[in-house]
Structure 1
Amino acid sequence: MIDSITVKNLSKSYGEKQVLRGVSFSVKHGEVFSLLGVNGAGKTTTIECLEGLRKWQEGEIVVEGISVRQHPEKLRKVFGVQLQSTALSENMTAKEAMRLFCVWHGVKYRGDLLTRFDMDGEYLNKPYAKLSTGRKRRLHLALALCHNPRVLVLDEPTAGLDVEGRNTLHREICRLRDEGVTILMATHDMAEAEALSDRIAILRDGVIAREGTPMELTAASNIQNRVYIKTRGGSLRENTPEALGMPETTMEGYSVWKCRDAAELLLLILPHIKACDDIVSDLRIERASVEDIFLSVAGGAK
């Protein structure tokens, strides 16, 4: 099956400043793919090239079988874009905005989308300027979907939202993925990227520094997990197997080990606790997260 998005050796410079240096990645149909990077890493430029808004010097971009360089005019049918902000008039209502977008895309009015994103009722005729940040985000997403795009681009989709608003948009993103929509997401929210993404690419200084599923990224890193154990009898504070070394301790009475393989560590610790006629009262494992990986990669960015 042909990938939904293919980017090969993309290079882009502004004058003497090279922003992208041979960026390559692909996104499968119906996949959520997140692009992470600090400000200036090249996320926005990459997305603008994908959308046909920026010309680039070298490389190739193909979206749903369309060469972006050769046929940028065909992208409007396949792309839906939810930006952080839009150029909507402050006095324009949600209903008017939907009519405008539907006319521009040559499709029938999509009031069903306003209902789906809870933008009907009292919000239907409310001026854009009077909508909350969460309601504006819902409207932006509804407008981006009015022509049933096969590819959806989300730029910081939940920035500035409260917990309820974030959860609502997360459910919609998952629903769209289940409907087969390919989603390319740029976000600074590492937990969001880890929870929603099938695969993630981390941009650093204009190149893809890491790429893979969240599990692949954490498994391939040198960042250690933390294992917290508390026992009723305190046997781990009194003596530990020599092979484990001395653990850190916490004010709450936990013994803490850093390790790459938590299961291997527990195979050594648990028999020791049993031999001391002690029992585990609490156990938790903090695994390396996508945020840990991102900080380790982006921390040395120029």
Structure 2
Amino acid sequence: MAETMIKADGLVKRYGDFTAVKGVHFEVYQGEVFGLLGPNGAGKTTTMEMIEGLRRPDEGHAVVAGFDTRTQLNRVKQVIGVQLQSTSLFDLLKVHEIVRMYASFYPSSVPIEPLLEDMILQEKRNDRVKNLSGGQKQRLAIALALVNDPQVVFLDEPTTGLDPQARRMLWDIVLRLKERGKTIVLSTHYMEEAHTLCDRICLMDSGQVIALDTPRNLVRNLQSDSAIEFRLEGADSWSGERQEAMTEALREVSEVKQVDQRKDIFVLYTDHLQASLVDLIGRAEGQGWRVQELQTRTATLEDVFIHMTGRSLREA
């Protein structure tokens, strides 16, 4: 079994009367990409900052690469690299200058030029930071997190605000880091990103862990491969009793295993898409249901989150 690189043991963080993180437990293994997935305000960043030693937990503790963040914080700092959600960089420095400056903070560092090449910044080495694009600044922030050749790399929503091409470029960088044996903790609210990059996903909501497994197992726990999603005209203004009656009626659709409803949107989960679709359309015609925007798709991590919390990641 892989070595445990991170152990979060009952982490709690309070701000006055508000508890941002409520007793989080998990382990991260060597060489894996571990995802913290959840909406804004779920407690992902606060959890990461407690593990990094940037915030002191009110309860619980964390161990990173065998070092306790409460008593061995200096040792922890030597073995981790951190890309914060927003990194303040010195705008007037050139790319190679800021990387060399950060490298000087550590007793030993990796060679600068290969690092810039890995981060696809070689052509920008003499550009000032203020002239970099959003994606280039994010890659620079990751380069700064890697100058000390850390065992564990923390990436806090590294692709937020980036265009699709820049996002894919960063995905490739993360996967290359994994190939080199780095342990990576990645927070995100993008389902596709978590599904593509992460070996395991810790699904967080309201400061708590609500599920932790591989992406495939999380989706498999829905017990269905496919989803039929549609709107029912006027359903968002129905009474609770009428909505419940409709949900019960939809459970009777052939081969449907689960039904989720959110306002006027209904999602039916099934392993036999054609049979369920034919029966749904037949019932809609017979009952006079006004079905709109009907689409079929494979089940996703978004469906897992909706099923467990009753709302989507985008709404939360």
Length-normalised TM-score, structure 1: 0.78
State yes or no: 1:295 paired with 2:306.
Answer: yes
Shift of 1:227: 7.1
CA 1:92/1:6 → structure 2, altered by over 3 Å: closer, same or farther? same
Residue 57 of structure 2 is matched in structure 1 by 56
Cα pair 1:7 1:23 within 8 Å, conserved: yes
Residue 67 of structure 1 is matched in structure 2 by 68
CA–CA distance in 2 between the matches of 1:285 and 1:215? 19
- Matching residue's letter, 1:153: F
Secondary structure of 1:107's counterpart equals coil
Worse-matched range after superposition: 166-175 or 106-115: 106-115
Shift of 1:157: 1.3
Shift of 1:221: 2.5
Shift of 1:245: 8.0
CA–CA distance in 1 between the matches of 2:35 and 2:302? 13
Shift of 1:35: 0.5
CA–CA distance in 1 between the matches of 2:128 and 2:221? 49
Cα pair 2:6 2:62 within 8 Å, conserved: yes
- Matching residue's letter, 2:298: R
Residue 182 of structure 2 is matched in structure 1 by 181
Secondary structure of 1:244's counterpart equals coil
Unaligned runs of 5+ in 1: 229-241, 247-256, 270-283
CA–CA distance in 2 between the matches of 1:147 and 1:245? 55
- Matching residue's letter, 2:120: D
Secondary structure of 1:104's counterpart equals coil
CA–CA distance in 1 between the matches of 2:144 and 2:169? 16
CA 1:18/1:119 → structure 2, altered by over 3 Å: closer, same or farther? same
Counterparts of residues 111-122 of structure 1 (less than 5 Å): 111-121=113-123
Residue 261 of structure 1 is matched in structure 2 by 271
Unaligned runs of 5+ in 2: 230-251, 257-266, 280-294
Q: Greater Rg, structure 1 or structure 2?
A: 1
Cα pair 1:88 1:128 within 8 Å, conserved: yes
Shift of 1:164: 2.4
Cα pair 2:203 2:212 within 8 Å, conserved: yes
CA–CA distance in 2 between the matches of 1:206 and 1:227? 31
Residue 152 of structure 1 is matched in structure 2 by 153
Counterparts of residues 93-172 of structure 1 (less than 5 Å): 93-108=94-109, 109-121=111-123, 123-172=124-173
- Matching residue's letter, 1:149: P
Cα pair 1:191 1:291 within 8 Å, conserved: no
CA–CA distance in 2 between the matches of 1:76 and 1:96? 22
CA–CA distance in 1 between the matches of 2:271 and 2:225? 8
CA 1:73/1:94 → structure 2, altered by over 3 Å: closer, same or farther? same
Shift of 1:213: 0.6
Secondary structure of 1:105's counterpart equals coil
- Matching residue's letter, 2:122: D
Q: Percent identity?
A: 37
Length-normalised TM-score, structure 2: 0.75
C-alpha RMSD over aligned residues: 2.9
- Matching residue's letter, 1:262: H
Shift of 1:222: 6.2
Cα pair 1:223 1:292 within 8 Å, conserved: no
Residue 250 of structure 1 is matched in structure 2 by none
Secondary structure of 1:158's counterpart equals coil
Alpha-carbon deviations, 1:117-173, whole Å to 9, x = none? Answer: 22123x111111111111111111111111111101111111222232222211111
CA–CA distance in 1 between the matches of 2:11 and 2:182? 24
State yes or no: 1:7 paired with 2:17.
Answer: no
Residue 274 of structure 1 is matched in structure 2 by none
Residue 236 of structure 1 is matched in structure 2 by none
Residue 239 of structure 2 is matched in structure 1 by none
How many equivalent residue pairs? 263
Shift of 1:287: 2.1
Residue 284 of structure 2 is matched in structure 1 by none
CA–CA distance in 2 between the matches of 1:203 and 1:30? 22
- Matching residue's letter, 2:272: A
